[in-house]
Amino acid sequence: MNAELFENLRLELRRGCLILAVLAELRTERYGYVLRKSLADCGMAIDENTLYPLLRRLETQGLLVSEWREEEKRNKRFYRLSPEGGVILSRLLEEWTGINRSLNRIIEGEPSMERNHEAHQ
Partner 1 sequence: MKPTNSLLARYLRFVESRDWVAAEAFPVFARGLRAVLWTLAVVFAVTYALAGPIVRGEALRAILLVTLGWTLWWCVWAAGLVALFTLIFRLARPATPGKLTGKYLDAIGGYLPPDQPEDILAELAADIRSEMEDREAELGRPLTAEEVETILKRHGHPMLVAGRYLPRQYLIGPSTFPFYWFTLKTALWIAALVYVVVAVSVPFVRGMVQAAANAAPGEVTVAGAWSFLLIGALVLLAVFGAVTAVFAALESIPGFSPAGNWTVKSLSSAARPPRAKPRWEWMVGFVATGLFAGCWLAMPDFPWNLGPAGRYLMPGAAWASIRLAMILLLLAAMVEAGVQLARPQWTRFCTAVHVALRAAGLAFLGFLFHSSDSLVVVNLARVPAADAHRLPQIIVECTFYGSLMALLIAGMTDLVQCLPYLRRWFLRPDRERKGTSHQPAS
**Site size toward partner 1, by CB under 8 A:** 16
Interface characters, 43-82, with partner 1 (x: CB under 8 A): -----xxx-xx--x-----------x-----xxxx-----
- Interacting residue with partner 1 among 8, 9, 11, 33 (CB under 8 A): 33
Instruction: Give the residue with the Cβ less far from partner 1, 31 or 63.
Output: 31
Please report, to the nearest 10 degrees, the dihedral formed by the alpha carbons of residues 52, 12, 41, 75 taken in order: 0
How far apart, in whole angstroms, are the C-alpha atoms of residue 56 and residue 14? 19
Instruction: Give the residue with the Cβ less far from partner 1, 19 or 96.
Output: 19
Q: What angle do CA 65, 71, 76 make, to 5 degrees?
A: 45
